[in-house]
Each structure stands twice: as C-alpha cells, then as structure tokens.
Chain A
Amino acid sequence: MPVEVDNSSTVSGDASVSSTGNQNPPPKSAVKKKRNLPGMPDPDAEVIALSPTTLLATNRFVCEICNKGFQRDQNLQLHRRGHNLPWKLRQRSSKEVKKRVYVCPEPTCVHHDPSRALGDLTGIKKHFCRKHGEKKWKCDKCSKKYAVQSDWKAHSKICGTREYRCDCGTVFSRRDSFITHRAFCDALAVESAKTQTNPSSESDPKVQAADSSPRRSPPAAPPPVSAPSAITSSDIRIQSSVLAEDPSTVVEEAPTPAPAPAPPPAGLNGSSSSSVSLVSSGCSSSVFSSLFTSTTVSASIHPPQPLAPAPPLVGLNGSCSGSVSLVSSGASSCSSSGVFASLFASSTVSASIQPPQPRALTNLIRADLAPSTSIEPISLCLSTSHGSSIFGTTGQERRQHAPPLQPAMSATALLQKAAQMGAAASNASLLRGLSIVSSSAPQENLQWGQAQVDPDNASIAAGLGLGLPCDGSSGLKELMMGTPVFGPKQTTLDFLGLGVAAGG
C-alpha cells in the first residue's frame, strides 16, 4: 500500500532546513507549458515510497473485497464492477488526480531522494528490480544478466545481430561508434598513407560479424597505435599511481598492485616543479589520500623538515613543489581514504618530530578503539567500499590495503562525533595549532599506520583554509602567503600546504 515518505511530503523538501541562498528555485511560470526542470520534478507532486515487497509484487492492484490481485489498475476496476458496489465506493478517490512520483525505498539509492523521484510506477518498479533485485535473466550469447525480463528480451534481440569490425580489430555493435572510430583509427591513417592507388571500393564499412572489412588490409595490420599511445596517456597518471602506492611501500611493507608500470615519477621527489597528478585510486577513494601519500614519499626520501609549527596541512612538507592535482586512479593504495585521514597521514610520518594532540580527542579516539579494533573505528565510515574516516581502521591500515565493507553508521552517531570534533577544535585556536606543539599526545595514536593521525591537526588544518580571512597572526599569513614556514622548497601554499604553482 502506498506509504508517504516520512521526511517530506512534497518534492520540495524538508522545510526545517534553512540555509542561505535560494534552495528551491520556483518552477518557471513564464513558459506556456509546465515543464520539469532537471532535478525539480513537479513540486506539487505527491511523493510515494512503496515497500520493496510492493515493488516486486506483480499483482500490485488488489481488490479490497475479495483480495484478488491484478497487474493493471484497469483490470482491477473492471473486476470491481462485478462486485456491485454502491456508487460512492466505486468512485476513484480524488487523490489519484494528483500527480504522483515514486521514490526508491533503498536509502542509499540515488532515487531515494524525492528530487530524483521517478514519475511512473512502472519505472520505479523496473528500477528497483534492476538495481536492487536479483538478476534472473541471462543472455545466452554474451552472458549479460538482467533483472527485468523486458530488458533481457530487448538485449537478446540486439545481441550479436550486428557487428562492425574495424581493421584494428575492435568490434562494435553500433554503427555510429564504428564509423567514428574508423575515422580516427590509426589503422585507417596508416592504410591511406600506404596505399596511394587504391581501387576505391565504395567501401561502406558496414560489416557482418563474419567478414572483415572490405579493405583487403589484413586485420592484423598495424597494431593499434592506441596501445602505445595508451601508455602515453597513462604515463601522466603513472605518477599518481606510483604516488599513491609509494607511501605504502615506504611506510608499510605491503605493496599494492599498480594499474600501470611505474617509472619513478618525475615530480615526486619534490625537486622538480612539475605538477604531481593524483589520480584517485580505484579503492583509495579519499579526496586527498594520495595528496599526502606523496608527502610521505618525499618524507622518506628527504629527511623530514624540522617543522617548528605543527605540520597541519603539511600535505607536502615542502618536498613537493608544484601544484598537486587530483585525479582518479585505479591503484588500490592507501588505506586512508578520508580527506582528513590523509591530511594527517603525513603528519604521522613527520609526527615523530612533534605530536600535538589535545586530550579530549585522545579520549575520543580511545573510546573508539576500545570496543573492538576491527569494528569500531571503521563504523564511523559510511562509505561502504573503502572508506575509513579519520579514526579509520587500525589493524587493517597496517596491512595497507583497502578495508573490507563497513557497517553503516547512523547519521545521529556521525553527528555526535562531528560535534565532538568541533568542540575540541574550537578550543584550539588557529595560532595554537600553528605554533604550539603540545606534548600531550600519547604515542600510541601514531601507530595506526600511516593513515591515522592527528585529529586535532585535522580540525586545525581544516580550519586554516576554511573561510579564514587573511588577517591574523603572522604565522597564518606566512602560511597563506607561502613563505617557507614549512620548508625551503615550498613556493606557495594553500591551506592544504600544497605548493600551488601557476601550472596547476
């Protein structure tokens, strides 16, 4: 039975949220036709969340008199007539006149959000089936699996019926992709370079599976140049994948699999000014994990700079100049996946020099660690694949590979932790964070492996860059202005301690 979504009755969203700015742009009133803006389906629509059972049920329409089920509403209505109901009951409820949109009951699903609701019931049912249902239908030709029968049928009709083969060996099922590929394929370029007097076959490149292309060039002809060039393009990412991985070899013993061969990246050692590109690895999903892993690499290569002030943002302890850019990579590298986790990862390495840590947070950390090493800290993280938060995974981190799936933490719990963290941080002023090294930090916190660190620095570090105007202590100013607070090799620093060069 249709159930109203708890947290909002219209698509416009929860009224309790107040924030600056226009959160819900009104639908256009000037156009003649009412159109659905992206992300803003009809705001007056009724949002309905059906239960999984209802969505999966084939007979969704049930007669309330005899409980007979029907797949279609029309059929149900037809059936109900047979019961000789009094006129009033036979009326359709006026509710049905209102536009309905449906959300997915699965909380993590993208369609759980009312602003991404789907407009029709069949759509949401199919979605639920496809996304969260079991894939029962399998194509016998290519082994693709489908949860919805109509999808399977549609695919089977197309599968293997048409194939276009390029000289380079790639096969396409769609003509337009084939044509476009063929136009730019190196095979063609080499081809036309070779053959000047080419009996111009009308050569429509359309092809059946069995045949090769009408051009009698051997299919094995020039090896796809894409291979070598693929290497070039991945070269750029090699730095990052190495980046992502090196720290693991440096700090931890277990190397992680590299997606690409890894020549030592040029810019890593900090002496060159090339930008270090960070490709977010497939599993180390943090925003800045690799950002800081690079630091740890350099930290190992060059002795860590003696840092007078706390090494908060010290993403790069001055060893890496040049801008650090973030890209996604596929390496399964650092365990630290949190933004702030890695923020502090670096300080772990250099932390032997100075481990400032406020007591409150220490308690918090301990509280987290107490229950169980394998579960508790991990439970802070919502991201199910590889995430770990600041407090991350202790045991696993040492082994330096992606932690297994974690149980989700409730929003309320997160809220508590965040508040605590904020409370602790609010005590530490910016300047304190910068210049004061409190020696109260228990060393054990530094043994979590490279990912774990300095939650206090986290807050301070974060605080440094977030919305702070450029007044205040000289320490801050220097930090922001990029004077070598952290080491001579730094050119300019943003709040993350990254040297940001023009090339960034």
Chain B
Amino acid sequence: MKTEVRGNGGSISLQNPSLFNTPLDPITGALKGCLGSLDGACIEKLLLHCASALENNDVTLAQQVMWVLNNVASTVGDTNQRLTAWFLRALISRASRVCPTSMNFNGGSMFQRRLMTVTELVGYVDLIPWHRFGFCASNGAIFKAVEGYGKVHILDFSITHCMQWPTLIDALAKRPEGPPSLRITVPSCRPQVPPLLNVSKEEVGHRLANFAKFRDVPFEFHVKDDDPCLSHETFATQFESLLTQLTRSQLDLRDDEALVINCQNWLRYLSDETKGNTTTVRDAFLDVIKGLNPRIIVVVDEDCDLSASSLSSRITTCFNYLWIPFDALETFLPKDSRQRLEYESDIGHKIENIVGFEGFRRTERLESGVKLSQRINDAGFVSLPFCEDTINEVKSLLDEHASGWGMKREEDMLVLTWKGHNSVFATAWTDEGLSVVQVEPTETKQGAVSLRKAANG
C-alpha cells in the first residue's frame, strides 16, 4: 500500500504508511517556515532543537536532527554549511560526554591541536583584520600614553604570542625623541586555545629581541614563570597562582617606567563565576592590575555575549556571531584554501568549547564590549578615548582589507564591524587617580572626572 505525501517540492511515495504515526512534530516544527530550503535561520532552529533534545535526553529527536544537519554540513561548502559542520561537531562532542563516567576527560577536546610556525602565525593574524584591528588600536593608544617616557614596561596578556609588538617597536623606533627602552613580560601560562605555536615563548621573545636590536630599541623580554609543579594543571589553576605573583616586586616594576597592561582576548578566559561570596577571578585580576598603578590598560576582545548559562541562548548568539569570520574568509579565499580551513577549524575549537562543555571546562566566557566595559569601570578605571591618529590608522588598515570591514565608535570604544555587524572591540583605560597626558578635555562616561592636559612628572 502506498501513500503519497505532497511536500513542497513534489511527492514522495513511501512504502509504509504507519511511519506517519510517529511523532513528527519536533522535526516538523524545526523545519517549519524553512520554505523548503535550509537557510541560516532554519539551521539555527535545528541546532536549537538538537540542543534541547540532548538536554531532555530525547535520543531519537537528537539523532533525527543531527541526521538532517549532517546533510547540510560540509567543511568545504559555503558559509552556512561550514558553520553547520562545526556546530554539529560541537553538539556531537557534547553528546558524547553526557554520560558522566570514569572516562578520563580532563577537558580535552576531540580536536587535535595544530601547531604553527612563527611565520605561519604572522600570516594567520593578518588573514583578516580580526586580530590586527586590536593590535593597531591598542598600539596607537599605548604609543600615545607613553609619550615622554624613557622606559616602558608592557605586561602582555594575550593569546597571539606577541604578534602585536613588532609594529609597536617599529613605531617607537621612529619616535622623534628616540625610542624608549622597552620591557615586555608575558606570563608563562596561557589558555590552551588556538593559535598554537611550535616554539616556546622564550624563542618568540628571542626573535622579538633580535628585531628590536635591528631597530635599535633597547629591549628586554621576560617570561613570568609559574610554579613548575603546576605545569600540568589547567590554565585556570595556573592563573590563580599567577595572580598571586603579580606584585610590584615579583614583576620587578620600576618607578621610572610607564607600565602598560595589554589584555588581548584574555579576560574572557578568566572565570566570571562567583563561588559563594568571593569575587570572580576576572574581577580579582582587574583589582590586582589596578593595584600596580599602570599608565594605561588596553582591553581588546570579541564583542559577543556568551556568558549565559543557557545552552540555547549560547547557540543562538554564537551562531549569529561567528558567521562573521566565516563570511569574511569566504570573500576572498577559495573553498579549499588550507589557510581558510585552518582558521575555521580554530573557530570550530571555540564553538566546541562554547557549545560542548559546561562548568569549569567551558573556558570561553565572552562578555560583550558594553558589559566588560562596565565591569572595568566598576573596578575603578576610567576610559580613555582613542585619538584621531589612532583612528585614522585603523581606518587605513581596514581600507587595505576586503571592503565590508568597517569601524565604528561607541562612546570610547572602537568596534570592528563586518557588513555593519560588530565583531571585535577595543578599549583603553587608565587608573582614576593618575593624571593623564595629552587627552583632550572631554567628558568621560561618568562625566565626573575630566581629563586635562597635564605635565606628568
């Protein structure tokens, strides 16, 4: 006995009509409104259905949805297909850990981490302005902030292995009054996220030192060592230990130095969970660095709010945010480009963490620029606007990339946009107590503290 079903595109004859007694509603609901084709909105709905199925232990539905998604997914397809592929992997990864067992799984992901050479990393960070935007804006702000100083000390908290500094060294080298002597200190611990290098931090520092020498900039590089018995611990544990070592003496801070604190894609890895009455690690970090009396703090991160505890809202937000780098890469790289696939795979790693993990293993806890700015403000910092020179530099940087990249200002924050959608934000701050050189008297957000040009001793 045959039954005909008329779908959108035609009829399908099925052998067994009793199949229709099965509950189709969830899938039907998922695909309703898709007009017969699976576009981004549909895929998002499917992902959400899958997630909720997993949370409800509805095996059949989850499997059905995954089956459908799998038909769309392709790491070498178009943007939507690629996104789907990585989200699907993350969901499967999540599913495979649902059963709490004696499986030893200390938060490692299913993905092998790829190690790059330094040269490859250089190309990587410049593929799209995602990182370079932050570098440019930050370096501009730093350059201005250290004007008049003969010594500069940078505490570099970032995941891009000092890719930011050559352009700053170059700019400092060309200072009319001559370059300052420059010290860069990096922590030895780092979140285990891509991009990953195949050389040590010391080696990176060594090369940077070579370059600085080449440009005649006096230079020192230090790796702030952690307790060696923590070397196999998670980043969170290592960092908590590091926090205790961020003191004037242990960092060897000197009075005649301008202290710069650089946080690039860093704060998001610091836990924002309060355990009992203690402050969050994130806030504790801000307090510690405030205590060091820095000249300037620059904070750059991705403008997306992924701190929600609800999986569904994270999936939605993440899906509607990470299409941006995928789309940008699609603009100028062919479908089988190795660089593109690697870049996307690193984003996939992020997706896996956001969607596939919970609790302390979910290390990616992005806050939106606005929220993070509020947090920094609450810690007692005052925002510094970016000067026109910096803004012009950023603009000309973006001009050199694909059209579609833009920039906008939201109060004192600079935001990188792709086709009008926010992607990365950059902010600069200073300690409320210090008087700041060269900032035009403008109203800050609070309106209370007006910053005037002041000679700084």
Instruction: Indicate if the CB atoms of A500 and B103 lie closer than 8 Å.
Output: yes
CB distance A467 to B56 under 8 Å? yes
| Contact B126 A38, beta carbon cutoff 8 Å | no
Chain B residues within 8 Å of A408, by CB: 37
A14 touches B214 (CB 8 A): no
Give the Cβ gap from B337 to chain A, nearest Cβ, in Å. Answer: 9
- Given A280, A381, A423, which contacts B19 in the complex, CB threshold below 8 Å? A423
Complexed CA–CA distance, A119 and B419 (Å): 8
Binary flags per residue of B388-402, CB closer than 8 Å to A gives 1, else 0: 000000000101100
Q: Is B274 an interface residue (CB 8 A)?
A: no
Q: At the interface, yes or no: B422 with Cβ under 8 Å from chain A? A: yes
Q: B residues within 8 A CB of A189?
A: 206-207, 210
- A387 in contact with B77 (CB, 8 Å): yes
A53 contacts the other chain (CB 8 A): no
Q: For A226, list chain B residues within 8 Å (CB).
A: 117, 119-120
Contact between A179 and B167 (Cβ–Cβ < 8 Å)?
yes
For residue B147, CB closer than 8 A to chain A, the reply is no
Residue of A with least CB distance to B78: A108
- For the complex, is A354 an interface residue (Cβ under 8 Å from B)? no
Contact A502:B108 (CB < 8 A) given known A20-B55, A282-B76, A363-B15: yes
Task: Find out whether the CB atom of A107 lies under 8 angstroms from the CB atom of B67.
Answer: no
Q: Bound state CA distance, A502 and B80, in angstroms?
A: 33
Is B251 located at the chain interface by the 8 A CB criterion?
no
Instruction: Give the contacts of A411-435 with B (CB-CB under 8 A).
Output: 411-423, 425-426
Tell me if B359 is interfacial: C-beta within 8 Å of chain A: no
List of A residues within 8 angstroms of B247 by Cβ: none
Please, what's the 1-or-0 string for B8-42, where 1 marks a CB less than 8 Å from any CB in chain A? 11101011100100101001111111111111111
B68 CB–A CB distance under 8 Å: yes
Q: Answer yes or no: B143 CB below 8 A from chain A CBs.
A: no
Would B421 and A418 count as touching, CB distance under 8 A? no
CB-based contact B420/A123 at 8 Å: yes
Quick one: which of A7, A176, A278 contacts B136, CB cutoff 8 A? A176
B88 in contact with A385 (CB, 8 Å): no
Smallest CB separation, A19 vs chain B (Å):
4
State whether B111 touches A325 (Cβ < 8 A): yes
Name, among A109, A280, A480, the residue most crowded by chain B CB atoms within 10 Å (CB to CB).
A280
B101 to chain A, nearest CB (A): 5
The answer to whether B77 and A384 touch across the interface, beta carbons within 8 angstroms, is: yes
Q: Which residues of chain B come closer than 8 Å to A416, judged between CB atoms?
A: 5, 7, 12, 14
Contact at A180–B126, with CB atoms within 8 Å?
yes
Assembly CA distance A418 to B22 (angstroms):
11
* Option from A31, A116, A130, A418 in Cβ contact (under 8 Å) with B67: A418
Q: B214 contacts A389, CB within 8 Å? A: no
Residues of chain B lying within 8 A (CB to CB) of residue A496: 92, 96
Q: Does A419 lie within 8 Å of B24, measured CB to CB?
A: yes
Residues of B within 8 A of A182 (CB): 166, 211
Please tell me which one of the listed residues A7, A38, A329, A384 contacts residue B321 in the complex, with CB atoms under 8 A apart: A38
Interface bits A26-66 vs B (CB < 8 Å: 1, else 0):
00100101011111110000000000000000000000000
> Which single member of A37, A38, A275 contacts B324 (CB below 8 Å)?
A38
Asked if residues B313 and A492 are in contact (CB atoms below 8 Å), the reply is no
Smallest CB separation, A122 vs chain B (Å): 11
Q: Complex formed: what's the CA distance from A493 to B112 in Å?
A: 17
Residue of chain B at shortest CB distance from A504: B108
Report yes or no: B52 in contact with A338, Cβ–Cβ below 8 A: no
* Interface window among B276-284, B292-300, B340-348: B340-348
Q: Which residues 458-504 in A have Cβ within 8 Å of B in the complex?
A: 458-459, 462-463, 465-470, 480-482, 492-496, 498, 500-504
Q: A108-B80, A177-B126, A466-B53 are in contact. List 6 more A-B contacts (CB 8 A).
A: A154-B399, A183-B208, A286-B70, A325-B110, A482-B102, A500-B104
List, sorted by A's number, 8 A–B pairs whose CB atoms are closer than 8 Å.
A38-B303, A116-B323, A189-B210, A232-B117, A287-B92, A410-B10, A421-B63, A492-B101
Q: Which 10 interchain pairs have the tightest Cβ spacing?
A: A39-B320, A21-B312, A277-B112, A113-B40, A412-B7, A325-B112, A183-B166, A383-B74, A410-B9, A183-B211
